[in-house]
Amino acid sequence: MSEPVDDRDRLRHLLTLEGLGSARIQALLDRAAALRAQFRAGASALPLLQGRTVVNLFFEPSTRTRTSFELAARRLGALVVNFDIASSSTSKGETLEDTLATLEAMDADAFVVRHKENGTPARLATHARRAAILNAGDGNHAHPTQGLLDLLTIRDRKRHVEGLKVTICGDIKHSRVARSDIHGLGALGAADIRLCGPAALLPAPDQFPHCGLYDDFDAAIAGADVVIMLRLQKERMESLPDLDETTYFARYGLSSARLARAQRDALVMHPGPMNRGVEIASDVADGAQSAILDQVANGVFVRMAALAELLRD
Return the number of the residue (3 or 245) whose C-beta is nearest ligand NCD: 245
Does residue 231 belong to the site contacting ligand NCD (CB under 6 A)? yes
Judged by CB under 6 A, which of 65, 120, 153, 298 binds ligand NCD? 65
Q: Which residues ranging from 88 to 117 are in contact with ligand NCD (CB under 6 A)?
A: none
In the bound complex, what is the minimum distance in angstroms from residue 223's beta carbon to ligand NCD?
Answer: 26
Rounded to the nearest angstrom, the gap between the alpha carbon of residue 79 and the centroid of all alpha carbons in its chain is 23
In the bound complex, what is the minimum distance in angstroms from residue 101's beta carbon to ligand NCD?
Answer: 27
Does residue 13 belong to the site contacting ligand NCD (CB under 6 A)? no
Return the number of the residue (64 or 127) whose C-beta is nearest ligand NCD: 64
* Sign of the four-CA dihedral 101, 106, 112, 113: negative
Does residue 270 belong to the site contacting ligand NCD (CB under 6 A)? no
Does residue 139 belong to the site contacting ligand NCD (CB under 6 A)? no
In the bound complex, what is the minimum distance in angstroms from residue 231's beta carbon to ligand NCD?
Answer: 4
Does residue 12 belong to the site contacting ligand NCD (CB under 6 A)? no
Does residue 119 belong to the site contacting ligand NCD (CB under 6 A)? no
In the bound complex, what is the minimum distance in angstroms from residue 201's beta carbon to ligand NCD?
Answer: 12
Does residue 233 belong to the site contacting ligand NCD (CB under 6 A)? yes
Does residue 145 belong to the site contacting ligand NCD (CB under 6 A)? no
Size of the site for ligand NCD (CB under 6 A): 11
Return the number of the residue (177 or 304) whose C-beta is nearest ligand NCD: 177
In the bound complex, what is the minimum distance in angstroms from residue 86's beta carbon to ligand NCD?
Answer: 19
CA distance linking residue 197 with residue 103, whole number of Å: 42
Task: Note the residues at the interface with ligand NCD (CB under 6 A).
Answer: 64-65, 137, 143, 146, 176-177, 231, 233, 271-272
